[in-house]
Structure 1
Amino acid sequence: MQPPPDLLTPLQAQFGEQQGMINQKMQAEFSQTGDGVVTHSINITIIHNKVKYNAAGQVISAQVKNGKLESFIGYNANNFAWYNPSNGKMELFMYVKNGQMFMREAFINEAWLNSVVVTEYIKSGDYVPGKRGFLIDGKTNNMEINNATFRGKLDIGTNKTGERIVITNDRIAVYDDKGVLRVEIGKITGV
């Protein structure tokens, strides 16, 4: 005997106009062509003060279409937590809250980042102070780069006081605290 292709398991509680529902659905189907889909979904709905919320859910599915297998796992929630039970206690190692992810540690092979805020520091794996590697300290705003190559313009100093050193491939210029050029080496521009 074959199990039914769809299985729906609802559970609900209600008090007055407040209501909570859990729906679990399991579905498996294949066609004569060999295409098919298997899905397990859980959805939690809450009605509170006459407003219906699709509060949380999970979908796990796999499908075969034209001989190609695809799988999918999706979650609907504003908070996620991952725990490691390997040491005998539930240790939180990753957490997502309202779109922000917090991880204890991560090894990332390659990354494209649009924006980074450094609250502690970034350093190279081979960093040795004064010898090799680099360190960017987010607390002290200090940076150390050993054996660096710069291309283009390097502006050292502050624009607020005017004191600065500007280094390009053909010129070094030193400005005083009023922004007046005091020393120029290489290509002389006078500005």
Structure 2
Amino acid sequence: MSGSAVAAESAPPAASPARATERRNAVVLGTHAKIPDWATSVTYQRAFGKRLSLGAGLEYGYQPHGYWHLQGVGEVLSGQVWLGRPFHGAFAEGSLAVFHQFLVRQPRLSTTALAPGLGLGYRWTHRSGLLLGGSAGLRWGRTLDDSDLICTRPKYCNSVRQGPYARITVDLGYVF
């Protein structure tokens, strides 16, 4: 064996091109139909391993006409298990959200709710990084801290909703 052949055999294998361009992060904008209400979210997701991703996001619930003084926001932590690779294909999701409904002029007058959820979805990622997708699932809301002065009529406090409710999303994002 020549010296150059031995050196070539002992060199570590180069990373495969598919592995070198693997994208591990995503920013996703979502429109939610929290039947019968609407919400918008922005979420950062990070892939871990071959089939798992974790996400953290903010969700803003749109208020019924005439009730914009009662704003609703939520913080959401989620985990996804993918059938294929992360951010492409079918997935199952579990989430835990903390929602706040508050009076704009007096934010200390607020109601807080916890809402765990489960869902199924599908996302498609183009080679440019564009992500399109959708999902459907259920959330179960429960009030943690209640104000007697606001949210006296539950239909106008849609972010801190009690009990189970359906959630359908349409997603647009970028994977990098």
Higher helix share: 2
Q: Which has the higher contact order (CA 8 A, sep 6+)?
A: 2
Q: Same fold (TM over 0.5)?
A: no
TM range (shorter): under 0.3
TM-score normalized with structure 1 length: 0.26
Bigger Rg over Cα: 1
**TM-score, normalising length: structure 2:** 0.28
The structure with the greater share of residues assigned to strand is: 2
